[in-house]
Amino acid sequence: MNHLPLILGALGPIFALILLGLGLRRSGFPGDGFWPAAERFTYFLLFPALLVHRLALSRLGDYAVGPVAVVIVALLLGMTALVCVLRPWLKVDGPAFTSVYQGVIRFNTYVGLAVVLAVFQADGGTVAALVMAIMIPLINVLCVLVLTVHAGGSATMAGVARGLLTNPLILGCLTGIGLNLSGIGLPWGSAAVLEILARAALPLGLLAVGAGLRLEGLARPGLLAAASALKLVALPALAAGLCWVMQPGRLETAVLVTFAALPGAPTAYILARQMGGDVPLIAAIVTVETAAALVTLPAVLVWVV
């Protein structure tokens, strides 16, 4: 428990920014048109710049990439199987099931990287970027497949591949790793430019997370509680068990379990809207998970630290 004040001190500003974003949007400041633009600006420019900067300058050989990849694949496939097995108990139709699935399997990258950098410092940020490089493509493929099967969404392999190849976070990770492994690094003074952009990524991203929360659609408390328990309790427990088996290293284990304990991502709204998911339900799930993470995430971090 001696780590609790340190962890709460690290998490406090992160959740304060999320709540500030929620309060600003509900007050109408600086205007409804600002938040979608801020989210796009962060998603397409600032956050990729942070990932490129972090990965291009790191010593990637110091980390257990192979065991980390195995844990991630086993974690996502195992949780997918568990959610499918539990579907009859959840008593939901196809679109609602896809929203529960997205709420369980997706993670909020802005919150994740902010938490890891605050608690585990620079090395943790590098591991987090590697985790994202592996997790994001697999999660997107799994979510598209589930929506296609259970919500009647239409998607082709070419469309899925195109979405992955144009995802700015994936491109940022691959660019950073490529620059690192090639030995090029960050040439021509680009490191200073990317560092400035990277500093703006997390504050603006966290504000946008808060602005994207929805307080409507909370009429199914039992289903919301079940989805939140799977995401914030079962998923990190499964991640810890897999790490115990694979032994990826102490820092890698801490980052993997932390990412598994993150709340869902507002980006799930977009895919649900495009492919026939239950949009009000996924909005409610993400909101409830983000609120519950105020309690569960510090508990998980005390455990892994």
* 250-293 residue pLDDT tens: 999 999 999 999 999 888 888 888 888 898 999 999 999 999 99
Q: What is the CATH number of the domain that holds 188?
A: 1.20.1530.20
Question: How many CA atoms does the CB half-sphere of 95 hold within 13 Å?
Answer: 14
d(C-alpha 59, C-alpha 75), whole Å = 26
Q: How much is the pLDDT for 273? A: 84
* pTM of the predicted structure, to 2 decimals: 0.91
Confidence of residue 4 (pLDDT cuts 50, 70, 90): confident
Q: How much is the pLDDT for 201? A: 94
Mean pLDDT (whole number) for 233-241: 96
Q: How much is the pLDDT for 268? A: 87
Residues 6+ apart with CB under 8 A from 163: 140, 144
Residues 6+ apart with CB under 8 A from 64: 248, 249, 252
Mean pLDDT (whole number) for 135-159: 83
The DSSP string of 70-111 is: HHHHHHHHHHHHHHHHHHHHHT--HHHHHHHHHHHH---HHH
SS3 content of the chain, % helix, strand, coil (to 5): 80, 0, 20
pLDDT at residue 215 above 80?
no
pLDDT per residue over 159-173, tens digit each?
778 888 889 999 999
Q: How much is the pLDDT for 270? A: 82
Confidence of residue 111 (pLDDT cuts 50, 70, 90): very high
Integer angstrom CA distances of residue 187 from 56, 111, 124, 184, 200:
10, 29, 24, 7, 21
User: With left for phi above 0 and alpha for psi between -120 and 50, is residue 185 left, alpha or beta?
Assistant: left
Confidence of residue 155 (pLDDT cuts 50, 70, 90): low
Confidence of residue 154 (pLDDT cuts 50, 70, 90): low
Confidence of residue 125 (pLDDT cuts 50, 70, 90): very high
pLDDT at residue 140 above 60?
yes
Q: How much is the pLDDT for 293? A: 94
Neighbouring C-beta atoms of residue 258, cutoff 10 Å: 27
Burial status of residue 158 (CB atoms within 10 A of its CB: 0-12, 13-18, 19 or more): exposed
3-state secondary structure of 272: helix
d(C-alpha 247, C-alpha 135), whole Å = 18
pLDDT at residue 98 above 70?
yes
Instruction: Count how many domains the chain has.
Output: 1
Q: How much is the pLDDT for 153? A: 62
Residue 126 sits in which domain range? 4-304
Mean pLDDT (whole number) for 23-51: 93
Block residue for tokens 């115990």: 244
Instruction: Please tell me the least confidently modeled range out of 84-98, 144-158, 176-190, 196-210.
Output: 144-158
pLDDT at residue 1 above 60?
no
pLDDT per residue over 53-95, tens digit each?
999 998 888 899 999 999 999 999 999 999 999 999 998 999 9
Q: How much is the pLDDT for 48? A: 94
Mean pLDDT (whole number) for 231-235: 96
Q: What are phi and psi of 189, to 5 degrees?
A: 75, 10
The terminus-to-terminus CA distance of the chain in angstroms comes to 10
